[in-house]
Amino acid sequence: MTHTIQPDNPEVTPAPDAADLPVFTGSAPKPATTGVPAALKRRIPKYSDLAPLMQFKKPEFSKEARLKRASTIWDLRDMAKRRTPQAPFDYTDGAAEGEITLRRAREAFLDIEFRPGILRNVSSVDLSTDILGKPSRLPLGIAPTGFTRMMQSEGEYAGSQAAEAAGIPYTLSTMGTASIEDVAAAAPNGRNWFQLYLWTDRDRSLELIERAAKAGNDTLMVTVDTAVAGARLRDVRNGMTIPPALTVKTVLDASYRPAWWFNFLTHEPLTFASLSRYTGTVADLINSMFDPTLTFEDLDWLRETWKGKLVVKGIQTVEDARKVVAHGADGVVLSNHGGRQLDRAPIPFHLLPGVKEAFTKDNSDAAIMLDTGIMSGADIIAALALGADFTLIGRAYLYGLMAGGRAGVDRTLQILEKDMARTMALLGVNKISELTPNHVRLLN
């Protein structure tokens, strides 16, 4: 008899002799035999089976078909880059210095976790809201952007008309390339706002304010984060000037983007519609015209002068948010100018909860708006959940504009609307007012 010893057990256990094992005298069981399902039998495919699968689509090369293939704002950005010369594209896409602020702003929206509720009836989702005393069909508006017709020849006209069709506000910049009056005429039923840079020449500023009021703008948005121009290095490297200069480099660039240059050269020359004709770099313009001596007393002057809603854009601390409201602002825009002024500036999305808490303690009903870094409808819903009343999009809308003019801006808004509705439904929320901080958790 042999023995086996377990490695961890010193006891000896006798192994059975072969003679002690039972003898099996029957036959081995046979595997069960069943019929092979007809669906799994090999066969030669019939044409009638293949015909429904062979539905090859006819290639579509129209602008509408191209834009329809865009599912995200990033898709529109890719299209914009292919269709736009480097200098205007980089002016839109770039930021100050090392572009750290812009990257952090976009990462801020990625570093969250949604907390969905289940078993809610979300067969209907309502994205409408009120902002500054009037309704908006969506919780976003178009932010002020300068030199917009440089990005694509339809410029501010495309933006204002798309906003009018979508039932959302449109903000015209002091640095716009369409006049206050022309935008009002292009979108007569739209809700038009005007963004103001205060100049050293107060009479010029007052003239713009009066023109905005006469044209029916109900909100004045004063930008306060441009005491001096930021170091936008892409513009420096591209030799960016207003209007764009024809150099050997730009001519070569044009050979790949003939449609942009055709539109640029066959439409009205690019000028600042609210300013005198200017030729030079963007930074030189800002440094020569904008007032670095602005104080809260100037905000008091604006409050006395402007009778409509007054919003201050460029708020980057809780303390300043509270202070501008104390000086008469009806709303604030938490913004670092899209990362285009001070690099390593505070991120609006991170600032948002603190401002909301402060306004709640102050019993303030001032509107909290937010921009910078928004690239999806989910970003917008996250901002609303954390306390924003409204959001503004700049680059996202310009990518659509460069990708396809007015139709591209429409596509931007369609993508964001679909994103927002889907995100709301998956969170188990029917209305904007039902969003709370409990729906979002900051991971960092």
Annotated active-site residue 337? The verdict is yes
* Contact between residue 409 and residue 400 where contact means Cβ atoms under 8 Å apart: yes
Rounded to whole angstroms, what are the CA distances from 155 to 57, 188, 218, 268, 375? 34, 17, 22, 12, 20
The answer to whether the beta carbons of residues 349 and 400 sit under 8 Å apart is no
| Most distant CA atoms of the chain, gap in Å | 116
Catalytic residue among 267, 337, 350, 439: 337
Helix axis angle, 395-427 to 155-166, nearest 10°:
20
By C-alpha distance, which of 215, 217, 198 is closest to 302?
Answer: 198
Taking a C-beta distance cutoff of 8 angstroms, is the pair 333, 372 a contact?
Answer: no
Tokens of 143: 């932010």
Length of the chain in terms of residues written: 444
CB 67 within 8 A of CB 203: no
- Cα separation, 383 vs 385, in Å, equals 5
Give dist(CA 313, CA 217) in Å, integer.
17
The whole-angstrom separation of Cα 366 and Cα 436 is 18
Write out the catalytic residue numbers.
337
